[in-house]
Amino acid sequence: MNTFGQTLGLTIFGESHGVSIGAVLDGLPAGVAIDWDAVNQEMARRAPGKNKLSTTRSEKDAFEIQSGFFNGHTTGTPLCAMIRNGDQHSQDYDQLRHIMRPGHADYSGKIRYGGFNDYRGGGHFSGRLTAPLVFAGAIASQILASQGVVIGSHILHLADVTDKGFSPLGESTATLQALKGETLPVLDKEQAAKMEERIVAAKNDLDSVGGVIECMVTGLPAGLGDPFFDSVESCISHMMFSVPAVKGIEFGDGFALTGLRGSQANDAFYYDDGVVKTKTNHNGGINGGITNGMPLIFRLAVKPTSSISQSQDTIDTDTQENCQLVIKGRHDPCIVQRAVPVVEAAAAWAILDVWLSAKGRCL
Amino acid sequence: MNTFGQTLGLTIFGESHGVSIGAVLDGLPAGVAIDWDAVNQEMARRAPGKNKLSTTRSEKDAFEIQSGFFNGHTTGTPLCAMIRNGDQHSQDYDQLRHIMRPGHADYSGKIRYGGFNDYRGGGHFSGRLTAPLVFAGAIASQILASQGVVIGSHILHLADVTDKGFSPLGESTATLQALKGETLPVLDKEQAAKMEERIVAAKNDLDSVGGVIECMVTGLPAGLGDPFFDSVESCISHMMFSVPAVKGIEFGDGFALTGLRGSQANDAFYYDDGVVKTKTNHNGGINGGITNGMPLIFRLAVKPTSSISQSQDTIDTDTQENCQLVIKGRHDPCIVQRAVPVVEAAAAWAILDVWLSAKGRCL
Amino acid sequence: MNTFGQTLGLTIFGESHGVSIGAVLDGLPAGVAIDWDAVNQEMARRAPGKNKLSTTRSEKDAFEIQSGFFNGHTTGTPLCAMIRNGDQHSQDYDQLRHIMRPGHADYSGKIRYGGFNDYRGGGHFSGRLTAPLVFAGAIASQILASQGVVIGSHILHLADVTDKGFSPLGESTATLQALKGETLPVLDKEQAAKMEERIVAAKNDLDSVGGVIECMVTGLPAGLGDPFFDSVESCISHMMFSVPAVKGIEFGDGFALTGLRGSQANDAFYYDDGVVKTKTNHNGGINGGITNGMPLIFRLAVKPTSSISQSQDTIDTDTQENCQLVIKGRHDPCIVQRAVPVVEAAAAWAILDVWLSAKGRCL
Amino acid sequence: MNTFGQTLGLTIFGESHGVSIGAVLDGLPAGVAIDWDAVNQEMARRAPGKNKLSTTRSEKDAFEIQSGFFNGHTTGTPLCAMIRNGDQHSQDYDQLRHIMRPGHADYSGKIRYGGFNDYRGGGHFSGRLTAPLVFAGAIASQILASQGVVIGSHILHLADVTDKGFSPLGESTATLQALKGETLPVLDKEQAAKMEERIVAAKNDLDSVGGVIECMVTGLPAGLGDPFFDSVESCISHMMFSVPAVKGIEFGDGFALTGLRGSQANDAFYYDDGVVKTKTNHNGGINGGITNGMPLIFRLAVKPTSSISQSQDTIDTDTQENCQLVIKGRHDPCIVQRAVPVVEAAAAWAILDVWLSAKGRCL
């Protein structure tokens, strides 16, 4: 179902070219004073049309609060936000009813919904549905921040360009926050220009590029999560594969761990002035599905944008014949940078849910 | 919670050195004639103590059905299986109460449960809890097989040894089934000897190695799963991170997709005698979270066994001082091969849940 | 959480005096052609301000579809409907922040939400939140009707006036449908005038009256539901106690069953031209939590409206002193008749959820 | 599914004549020292065969802890208890495969499970499955008691005999506890003899009687529960209709409320030495689905035992003809008194779930 969370419940709705998209946030603690400017800033990070690196569509991502906020605070009852759709070129998408775009959910969705799904702009499968996700995550982030939890991300890989990785033992809050202000958030500033170059090159080739996002969460206490089916990794990965274009996730050293020996991979515990820490953090802050108090680290594989302007082989489900498709409309040559705030938002929501499941309303 | 599934509900219980471990399988279709020999065979694949590659502990994995099976068929009401514990050297584990093993859940679990968790042999966090998972998956596999769905896996990487990968467009049922009979399931038989060599070398060094498991599911119809929070990838990854030692998952080409351009990564649709297929399968059979009818492919990072016999730095929570630990007991120098049937079982349960959620009792 | 259903998910949001109230309907089958006139008719049945029997507030219950409906059919993705608020006399409710209305959730809600809940007009606790419930139920009813399931209700008791009861063996579809057209739906038409008299009398006394609603569901096949925790009675009662003012529910003969002997209470099975029926229906169509193919019958206790215009003893949480309260604003002297369509809607949603949980998308 | 709870998860399994029945209790707080004697006492209250008022079957309700309890405390991981079956006269039940007992789930269950359910002794539908429920509730009760919450019940009606009701403003802990020691728990001791007389009379007539159980929960703080779908009434009623033979539930004055006017039904708040109380308790401690700090009161309709020794009309599903049935075996002429500890246990589990959902692990 389109609801995520055990204690929190995030329900998203809407289609790219429908009346509106939105989210219902259920289970939020009452009495939270939300900084709406900060929420708007997160929305702006995701919004398209800001520069030559993304689509020229300028989506209006202005949200309107319908409920759940009163006298400057959350009420604790469902908070609904609506984002009206606009600037739609629906005619660009007419052929989507029967010409299936490779890499997209056009075909699988058509089968799933018996052909009744809204195909315009990808309908409910559209990346535009990440706007309500960012909205929800921006609120979750503020609640987590009040508890000392900070989430930050950078682009580790984009096409063949590689940024330096996060220090596994933790980055400062200043570093994590500063990344949020950048179009192409990287630690090694020189890589940003190269990444931009790759995006522009792909755009010129009517093509697209993908990348890897690395995300760090600092300030989490030890002891969150559950063994087995509700491991922290299970909860976060469940959420992350909801983000369109994500095709892989790894925690700590992830796949690189498989080349190490146990003696290298194990993170030795030690007391640092009475505080338990690990000397290394190959396990990304999670042991046995439960946080160990070290920074939580994960990386996500984001595939290259499926919408490209080149001619592609595909099928016409009306004629039931093979055909050629040139996708009309305006597309992102790269969505990695726009996915960064989505990933942070999704992480914030999933982690706040784990947190509240453990601590109830005793925030 | 220790229950997995939306329509199905798998609840596992038990600790490594408790009275018994087991599983309750809820929501199974009624009237399924189970091949218990086949279930036993799957249990045997996971069981330790069979050869020099794994621990010399010989766990008794004999299950006893308590309920839910009558006159040769599932009843449709909860099926409970119990596996009694035995051959326990509990004294080997006495120090685990206060000396935290690196890489294990000893510390995070101690915090999670306020020190009340059963620490003997890892307690509820023990890899032994994968036995009930294999039991449940073996039953789910039989139900899926009756619908034409086959699940198979091989070891793609073990330490620095690499097997050839599955053909993304699908492997034959014969190939997938044959892999189940091997101690080190690989496609390129020559690699098995090399992998064995790496395991033995690690064992001799009182160390351990990890690897990557590649899993393929054939026969799935298009249209299973949901967009966003219940994408097929979300459901499978949620389950997979329940398997101890798994630290990463990728679908289709996964992380390698991030180095491709869109024109390379998109899988072109075509009609093959009226059947919709894709020419390539970089997306691993899933578009927008929903199956597209091509083989589902994913790979898992399995870290090297955390239990090693070398001396390690760690902490003593009693004295609150740093200390050295030499783990006693018998350990697997590599759990990748034993994880293979666990991964297949976990996949079977997760996929059957997705299937039944879509099709109800109209199996 | 404010989401109901296992396979379906109904999320409601909003406060009486907020921007809007609404509902997200998730998990609806794709391809359902909705009769919006019929939905509007159900909304109108619930809406206040139509006659002297209810409040003079004329709430605008016009819903606006935001998503999930395209080209005349449900898409299968979340259907969101929004109902804007209007005609609010917020100043009538200023004292509600600190003067607790007896019988209402003012005090319990204040404690639950730490005083941050929207108190205007009862906020999220307002009976106005039943409008989205009616909306959802009206759609569920149409889907059930396409499967031959009909839901109808009448007022069995109102104050001291008693209608004749439904025939336990079933009422005709015509009878059940005809009841929907009446302001005070009764089987014995003479009772309607008496009931009206009781309502008017209560109104003149600045007081209110309650009653009992009897609901029947015909056309359900045998075999729906589950033993124990998801019995049909469990699912329906869970939903029904969501309806404000409901304080009791009984299935079949309910409390009257406790005065019978087993030989009287048991419903004898027999074959009627090959169809299994029962000669009596004391159990209301449910045995062991599962439908038996006979009409499902339940009755609900609806307490008298808590808002009355008489002076009442209560507390002021600001001064922490006892005080007197005269509730301002316009109130229903009786909500039983307005609760009838709410009960039918709630039943429709709960039953469709049970149905789809059993039959998946194989409707 | 056979799992109950949002934060807690109670899974029950087993059939009357299978190998064992049992329960898995998930989500219990870690570190609870359980008084097993008290649990055994609760089990004994439910167990049959103790006196002439119940069946002469002497079920062995000895539970064996499999997991989740270590060094005298709950571990916080799933606690599984198994109760072996014994003293079964399976041959008594052979005819149940095809002769449907009126009032039982034989027919509805047969349809539900396509004829594959275990029919011996009612299988999974058997009242014997309330033993694991009592086990779970006995543990939940101890946790609640440590927080000052006490649950007690009496038989308000049995056939035509009526006990005096609980004082709505609360009974003392001593009174509630004393009731647990009685075979027929009543407040007016003279009624017990009359009730016993009715049971014996029914037994002599090869018939059965039913009754009403009244349950009170004291010590609950205000502010537990949620509006709408997770109202306290919703959660408790959901659980209560899991108890076999329950056909109705009412909170506070319940159905009697419908004959009152609002001015009578509303419970006036007042400050009693700074503590908020209500002068009356017609609403049973719940306003708007949320506790208000007054005693929670509900009553349950328990139908007369369906198994009677008289000849009854029914069907034979083998021959598809009508037939006569005389149920063999030993039956309870009344299960009301045995249902009392089941109801208390069910209430304890449901309320602890509401409690933990609100307070997390901050018990």
- pLDDT band, residue A89 (cuts 50/70/90): low
Return the pLDDT at C58: 55
Q: State how far the Cα of A73 lies from the Cα of C115, in Å rounded to an integer.
A: 10
The Cα of D92 is separated from the nearest Cα of chain A by a number of Å equal to 42
Partners of A314 in the β-ladder: A323
pLDDT of residue D90: 62
What rounded mean pLDDT belongs to chain C? 94
Lookup: tokens for B314: 């760690």
- Touching check for A121 and chain C: CB below 8 Å? no
Phi-psi region of A313 (alpha: psi -120 to 50; beta: other; left: phi over 0): beta
Q: Which amino acid is at B330?
A: R
Whether the predicted pLDDT of C56 surpasses 60: no
Amino acid occupying residue C266: N
CB D348 within 8 A of CB D340: no
User: Which residue, D71, C250, A331, A262, is CA-closest to B305?
Assistant: A262
Mean pLDDT score of chain D, rounded to an integer?
Answer: 94
Q: Is the pLDDT of residue B362 over 70?
A: no
Residue pLDDT, tens place only, D63-107: 999 999 999 999 999 999 999 998 666 666 788 899 999 999 999
Contact A210 B265 (CB under 8 A): yes
Please name which of D361, D249, D347, D349 lies closest in space to residue D303, comparing C-alpha atoms. Answer: D249
- Give the one of C15, C116, C124 whose C-beta lies nearest to A73's C-beta: C116
pLDDT at A86: 84
Inter-chain residue contact C112 with A82, CB threshold 8 Å: no
Segment A238-263 mean pLDDT: 98
C121 in A contact zone (CB under 8 Å): no
C75 contacts chain B (CB < 8 A): no
- Taking only the tens place, the pLDDT of each residue in D15-60 is 999 999 999 999 999 999 999 999 999 999 998 866 667 665 555 6
The stretch D322-347 carries a mean pLDDT of: 94
Rg (CA), chain C: 21
Predicted confidence (pLDDT) at residue B56 exceeds the cutoff of 60:
no
CA-based nearest residue to C130, from C351, C339, C328: C339
CB-based contact (8 Å) between D362 and chain C? no
Question: Which position has the higher pLDDT, C98 or B93?
Answer: C98
D244 is annotated as contributing to ligand binding: no
CA dihedral A35, A36, A42, A46 (to 10 degrees): 170
Residue B211: what are its φ and ψ, rounded to 5°?
A: 180, -175
Nearest to A227 among D7, D77, D358 (CB): D77
What are the tokens at A196?
A: 């931009």
Q: Is the dihedral of CA D127, D129, D134, D140 positive or negative?
A: negative
pLDDT at B232: 98
Q: What pLDDT sits at residue D87?
A: 65
Mean pLDDT of A328-334: 86
* Closest to D355 (Cα-Cα) out of D173, D226, D216: D226
Per-residue model confidence (pLDDT) at position C195: 98
With an 8 Å Cβ cutoff, is A75 touching chain D? Answer: no
Nearest residue of chain C to residue A64 (CA atoms): C19
| pLDDT score, position A223 | 96
Q: Which residues of chain C make contact with D286, given a CB cutoff of 8 A?
A: 108
Residue A77 and residue D227: Cβ atoms within 8 Å? yes
Task: Say which amino acid occupies C151.
Answer: I
Cα–Cα distance measured from residue C148 to residue D145, given in angstroms and rounded to the nearest whole number: 49
Please say whether the dihedral angle defined by the alpha carbons of residues B164, B168, B174 and B177, taken in this order, is positive or negative: positive
Beta strand segments in chain D, E? 3-4, 9-13, 20-26, 63-65, 69-70, 73-74, 79-84, 150-158, 161-162, 211-218, 246-251, 269-272, 275-278, 286-287, 290-291, 296-302, 312-316, 321-325
Cβ C77–A13 below 8 Å, yes or no? yes
User: Which secondary-structure segment (H or E) carries A185?
Assistant: none
Res C99 pLDDT > 90: yes
Q: What's the pLDDT tens digit per position in D342-356?
A: 999 999 999 999 999
pLDDT, mean of residues A36-62: 79
Nearest to B258 among A211, A235, A257 (CB): A211
Q: Is C1 on the interface with B (CB under 8 A)?
A: no
Contacts of B53-58 with C-beta under 8 Å, sequence gap 24+, read: B53/B183, B53/B184, B53/B196, B53/B199, B53/B200, B53/B332, B53/B333, B53/B334, B53/B337, B54/B332, B54/B333, B54/B334, B54/B335, B54/B337, B54/B338, B55/B330, B55/B331, B55/B332, B56/B330, B57/B87, B57/B329, B57/B330, B58/B87
Per residue in A273-323, pLDDT (tens digit) is 999 999 999 999 999 999 999 999 999 999 999 999 999 999 999 999 999
Give the mean model confidence (pLDDT) for residues A160-178: 98
Which residue in the block uniquely carries the two structure tokens 């429709």? Answer: C348
Residue B55, pLDDT score: 64
The predicted structure's pLDDT at residue B210: 98
List the one residue out of B201, B160, B185 whose CA is nearest residue B333: B201
Distance between A170 CA and the closest CA of chain D, angstroms = 28
For the stretch B96-127, pLDDT in tens is 899 999 999 999 999 999 999 999 999 999 99
Q: Is A187 on the interface with C (CB under 8 A)?
A: no
The CA-based dihedral angle spanning residues D13, D18, D19, D23, taken in that order and rounded to the nearest 10 degrees: 10
Tokens representing B106 are 């000893």
End-to-end CA distance of chain C: 27
Question: How high is the pLDDT of residue D60?
Answer: 61
D305 has a chain C CB within 8 A of its CB: yes
* Half-sphere CA count of B1, side-chain side, radius 13 A: 27
Q: Which residue of C has its CA nearest to A70?
A: C118
Q: How far apart are CA C105 and CA C254, in angstroms?
A: 28
Question: What pLDDT, in 10s, does the model give residues B236-291?
Answer: 999 999 999 999 999 999 999 999 999 999 999 999 999 999 999 999 999 999 99
C-alpha–C-alpha distance, residues A175 and A153, integer Å: 10
Q: What is the pLDDT of residue D195?
A: 98
Express each pLDDT in D239-298 by its tens digit: 999 999 999 999 999 999 999 999 999 999 999 999 999 999 999 999 999 999 999 999
Spatial neighbors of A277 by CB under 8 A, at least 6 apart, are A269, A270, A271, A293, A294
Structure confidence at residue C362 (pLDDT): 66
Nearest residue of D to residue B124, measured between CA atoms: D77
pLDDT tens profile B131-178? 999 999 999 999 999 999 999 999 999 999 999 999 999 999 999 999
Q: What is the mean pLDDT of residues D305-327?
A: 96
Residue D190, C-beta contacts closer than 8 angstroms, at least 6 positions apart = none
Alpha-carbon gap, residue A223 to B113, rounded angstroms: 8
What Å distances lie between residue C218 and C148, C170, C248, C348, CA to CA? Answer: 8, 7, 22, 12
- Say yes or no to pLDDT of C147 above 90: yes
Q: Does residue B108 have a known ligand-binding role? A: no
Residues C26/C35, Cβ–Cβ less than 8 Å: no
User: How high is the mean pLDDT of chain B?
Assistant: 94
Task: Say yes or no for a CB contact (<8 Å) between D262 and C305.
Answer: yes
Cβ neighbours around C169 below 10 Å, total: 14
The Cα–Cα gap between D139 and D281 comes to: 29
Place of tokens 């989740």: D68
Confidence of residue A349 (pLDDT cuts 50, 70, 90): very high
Identity of residue D66:
Q
CB contact at 8 A, A30 and C15: no
What pLDDT does residue C330 have?
A: 75
Q: How near does any CA of chain A get to the CA of B16, in Å?
A: 14
So what's the pLDDT on residue D59?
54
CB contact under 8 A, D77 and B112: no
Return phi, psi of residue D122, to 5°. Answer: 90, -10
Collapsing DSSP to helix, strand or coil, D2 comes out as coil
φ and ψ at residue B2, rounded to 5 degrees: -85, 40
- Tens of pLDDT, residue by residue over A91-144, are 667 888 999 999 999 999 999 999 999 999 999 999 999 999 999 999 999 999
**Pairing outcome for strands B321-325 and C3-4:** unpaired
CA distances from C111 to B36, C157, C305, D149, D236 (A): 55, 34, 22, 18, 20
Asked if C164 has any chain B CB less than 8 Å from its own CB, the reply is no
Tens digits of residue pLDDT in D170-185: 999 999 999 999 999 9
Element holding C70 (H helix, E strand): strand C69-70
Of B77, B227, B358, the CB nearest to C361: B358
Q: Is the pLDDT of residue B89 over 70?
A: no
For residue B122, the SS3 value is helix
Q: Are A260 and B210 spatial neighbours (Cβ–Cβ below 8 Å)? A: yes
Predicted confidence band at B338 (pLDDT cuts at 50, 70, 90)?
A: very high
Sign (positive or negative) of CA dihedral B275, B281, B285, B290:
negative
A307 in a known ligand binding site: yes
pLDDT at D280: 98
Per-residue model confidence (pLDDT) at position B81: 98
**3-class secondary structure, D279:** coil
- C301 contacts D258? CB cut-off 8 A: yes
Is B66 within 8 Å of D18 when comparing Cβ atoms? yes
Burial degree of A280 (CB within 10 A; 0-12, 13-18, 19+)? middle
Find out whether C354 and C225 touch, Cβ atoms under 8 Å: yes
Interchain proximity B247–A301, CB inside 8 Å: no
Give tens-digit pLDDT for C171-182.
999 999 999 999
Least confident of A8-17, C89-98, D70-79, D247-256: C89-98
User: Per-residue confidence at A55, pLDDT binned at 50, 70, 90?
Assistant: low
Q: What's the whole-number mean pLDDT along residues C41-69?
A: 81
Q: Do the Cβ atoms of A108 and B310 come within 8 Å?
A: no
Average pLDDT over residues A85-90: 72
- Tens of pLDDT, residues B183-227: 999 999 999 999 999 999 999 999 999 999 999 999 999 999 999
Residues in Cβ contact with B181 at an 8 Å cutoff, skipping those fewer than 6 apart: none
Chain B residues 27-66 with CB within 8 Å of chain D: 27, 30-31, 64-66
Complex ipTM over 0.90 = yes
